[in-house]
Amino acid sequence: MQRALVILGLILLALGVLWPWVGRLGLGHLPGDLYWRSGPFAVYVPLASCMVLSLLFSVLWWWLSR
């Protein structure tokens, strides 16, 4: 369990450092992400991006906990 958390932390650290390049993959601009704008007010709800990240982290967690 501790090893999995350390590895997950290192992966998140690497993603944070590499974010300018990872951002070019389109995460955050998927077809299921909702965006509303009304004048100066805007609301962004990244539904599809959250589901993709949840699936990715679930598979990674399952793989590391085996």
Integer angstrom CA distances of residue 13 from 10, 18, 48, 64 = 5, 9, 23, 17
Beta bridge partners of 41: 38
Cα 37 from Cα 29, distance rounded (Å):
15
pLDDT for 15: 78
Per-residue pLDDT band for 19 (boundaries 50, 70, 90) equals: confident
Query: Which sequence spans correspond to the domains of the chain?
Result: 2-65
pTM, two decimal places: 0.60
Q: Which helix (H) or strand (E) holds 21?
A: helix 19-22
* pLDDT at res. 22: 66
Side chain identity at residue 17, one-letter code: V
Which band of pLDDT confidence, cut at 50, 70 and 90, is reported for residue 58? very high
pLDDT band at residue 24 using 50, 70 and 90 as cut-offs: confident
